[in-house]
Amino acid sequence: MKRVYFLLAITAFGMNAFGQKTIDQRVSELLSKMTLEEKVGQLVQYSGFEYATGPKNSNSANVLNEIKQGKVGSMLNVAGAEETRKFQELALKSRLRIPLLFGQDVIHGYRTTFPVNLGQAASWDLKLIEKSERIAATEASAYGIHWTFAPMVDVARDPRWGRVMEGSGEDTYLGTQIGFARIKGFQGKGLGNLDAIMACAKHFAAYGAAVGGRDYNSVDMSLRQLNETYLPPFKAAAEAGVATFMNSFNDINGIPATANQYILRDLLKGKWNYQGFVVSDWGSIGEMVPHGYAKDNKEAAERAINAGSDMDMESRAYMAELPKLVQEGKVDPKFIDDAARRILVKKFEMGLFEDPYRFSNEKRQKEQLNNQENRKFGREFGSKSIVLLKNQKNILPLSRSTKTVALIGLSEKKLLPITDSGRLHLKMIIKESLLNLTELKIN
């Protein structure tokens, strides 16, 4: 008799075999209660740099009011147990009490600083790289952060591009393996654990191939090169279960990545069957206007959502324009529902509906403040990221007739003599360095 009642209960409440609603069921139930404006609100992300949790000016007051109305889904640059708790309290005053996601650039460490990403790649040590992100995730999550905008898996082959140091270099295979290690480090044993944060594969796609190495510039390449060189790290990230993707600023063969249906809907969400969500880079939806691809924010919002960009980071275009675009028939409501669903799924997976404050814990935060074991590991990682070049089997293009070698960028001894033994001695004074090195030798 008890088993009959249990089965009846499962049928009545739409539960799974374990007597609990699945995340998909809970998201569908929540979406059915949401207005169009509340769904669009989940697609909005603001920066917390200029907003205190008490209104200081009319602009910040408007943002705080929008949070209380359920018109904001995420904040970035809000960190610390106390601060994130205050913003979460505002979100829980909304009609449906949907919690916020807090994102932050956690690029090469959080409280503990590690070598820049290109230096980490030079270590060729995937286990160390994964451990560094495991430490970063543990520290960041203790400060109330749910989501990092990393790893950057852009392949970069033009040293003129200023962001080359944030990636893993020019090799597609190595970049793919390092990206996988970083995602594993950030997301740990799975979203929902208190020491795991959502990772973000960026910048999708081909950001490192900008013409002339100029940031935001056009990318002009064949689909063969795009698929063979620049997309494999992103495909691997999707297969590894990375929580989110971020658009790149550049266009690809004339179409901005933020409004590029081929890479977002046809490839990422179609062929690759990616289930996470896509966030714009800072203002990249609105920047399609000065870049000449959209005449105004309304057209920019239309093109972005139709292409598959789910969350608007700081363009302030979605909340202002999407409800009107749906009413005018220019945007299919199914795209709004799909974007909101993807974001809500992550909030459920992070356990924020069960406890919106679970990451805002001051005790955990204090435990991660100046963690000496983490600092010790940082020093070890720093030493292993320093590369000493050895001219084995004369791999370098140096002949005995070469008298000097110019090293560009050094403040001392621009021309270095090559000795008869073929040993190149480089004296470099490193002030206040991690390891207090006074001499490096390149053999």
Which residue type is seen at 205?
A: A
Q: Which residues pair with 103 in a beta bridge?
A: 76, 147
Q: Which residues pair with 205 in a beta bridge?
A: none
Q: Which residues pair with 424 in a beta bridge?
A: 418, 442
Among the listed residues 253, 278, 254, the one whose alpha carbon sits nearest the alpha carbon of residue 264: 278
Is the bond preceding residue 205 a cis peptide, omega within 30 degrees? Answer: yes
The rounded distance, in Å, linking the Cα atoms of 97 and 344 is 12
Among the listed residues 125, 231, 136, 137, the one whose alpha carbon sits nearest the alpha carbon of residue 181: 125
Pairing of strands 251-252, 255-256: antiparallel
Joined tokens for residue 304: 């972005």
Q: Evaluate whether 370 touches 111 at the Cβ level (below 8 Å).
A: yes
Q: Which residues pair with 416 in a beta bridge?
A: 405
Catalytic residues: 281
The rounded distance, in Å, linking the Cα atoms of 412 and 61 is 53
Q: Evaluate whether 176 touches 232 at the Cβ level (below 8 Å).
A: yes
Enclosing H/E stretch for 227: none
Residue in this structure with the two tokens 């814990």, named with its chain if needed: 361
Q: Evaluate whether 79 touches 145 at the Cβ level (below 8 Å).
A: yes
Spell out the residues 6+ positions from residue 414 whose beta carbon is closer than 8 angstroms to its own.
Answer: 406, 407, 408
